[in-house]
Amino acid sequence: MGVFGSARRRARAVFAAPGPGRVEDPLVTRVQSVRALLGALATFGLISVYGVDGGWSAVVDDGLSKLFLAPVVLIVLGPVVVACFIWYAPRRHRPLLRSRLRHPLKAVGWYLGAVLALVGCVTGYSYLNGTRALGSATGLLALATGPLALWLILFLVFASGSAARYAFNTADVHAALPAVLTVVLVWALALLSLGDGLPNGPTAIRAAAFLGGPVSVTAVALWELWFLRKRYGVRIRG
């Protein structure tokens, strides 16, 4: 429980900490949660009626792969989107927005650092475990990599969810950035999922299943941008 709680606390401290540009509103959170719940129910219903290649285990594998793929997509595409966002903002606001980039850069650094550390632990343990003559110090070092690797795995699990939800703390740069990045992320993941083929069922159902997620997320994101502008005066070019 200690390792579990420690990894969870650190992930939340890094990826879900409030920052200077973030706007938190319970209504936005509820709308996002309802959309996610309806999406999950729709997916469950489609799979129950039309089935899925590979069974429910394939659904679990797909969910886990997207959990870890989402931060990777954000790290790859995020800099381009953020650069375009800052360029689109009024010239007088650009220095302030650039100064706030340290918050998402810190989160990205933690994520990539954890991945590299985990790779190092696995590689080091494999090397030390394969050594024929392990000295006492080397043996203790090999044993120590196990708990560290477990902590890193748990940290990455919690961090991946928070990184995708908060878009690597880009709300600290501008409150509208996470909504923009979410739209880019969901369409990128949808296009990547085409490699696995469309869901089972009639053509209309397959098309609706493919487009339902990205379109609904985009609609919620556009509503969020409107809501932030209406209630909090958040404008990209304001």
Which pLDDT tens digit goes with each residue over 52-88?
666 666 667 777 888 889 999 999 999 999 999 999 9
Distance of alpha carbon 157 from alpha carbon 60, whole angstroms:
14
CA-based torsion, 52, 53, 59, 65: positive or negative: negative
Residue 79: name the closest of 181, 11, 10, 156 by CA. Answer: 181
95 lies in some domain: yes
Task: Please tell me which residue, 17 or 75, carries the higher pLDDT value.
Answer: 75
29 in any annotated domain:
no
Number of H helices, E strands in the chain: 8, 0
Q: How many domains is the chain built from? A: 1
Domain limits for position 189? 2-8+45-232
Of 132 and 8, the one with more pLDDT:
8
User: What are the DSSP calls for 169-237, one per residue?
Assistant: TGGGT-TTHHHHHHHHHHHHHHHHHGGG-PPSS-HHHHHHHHHHHHHHHHHHHHHHHHHHHHHH---S-
Task: Confirm if 164 and 74 have CB atoms less than 8 A apart.
Answer: yes
Say yes or no to pLDDT of 47 above 90.
no
Residue 164 lies in a domain: yes
Q: Tell me if 167 is assigned to some domain.
A: yes
Q: What angle do CA 158, 149, 16 make, to 5 degrees?
A: 20
In a domain, 39, yes or no: no
Percent of the chain topping pLDDT 90: 50
The pLDDT value recorded for residue 196 is 66
Q: Does residue 24 lie in a domain region?
A: no
Residue 238 covered by a domain: no
| Structure tokens, 33 | 């949660």
Q: What is the DSSP letter of 236?
A: S
3 state DSSP class of 182: helix
The set of residues, in sequence order, having a beta carbon less than 8 Å from that of 91 and lying 6+ positions away, is none
Q: Which of 187, 193, 167, 190 is nearest to 179 (CA)?
A: 167
Rounded Cα–Cα distance for residues 80 and 130 (Å): 43
Of residues 175, 210, 177, the one with CA closest to residue 193: 210
Per the CB < 8 A criterion, the answer to whether 175 and 183 are in contact is no
What's the whole-model pTM score? 0.86
CA distance 52 to 213: 17
Instruction: For residues 203 and 230, give the distance between their C-alpha atoms in angstroms, rounded to a whole number.
Output: 39
Predicted confidence (pLDDT) per residue in 112-126, tens digit: 999 999 998 888 777
Q: How confident is the model at residue 210 (pLDDT cuts 50, 70, 90)?
A: confident
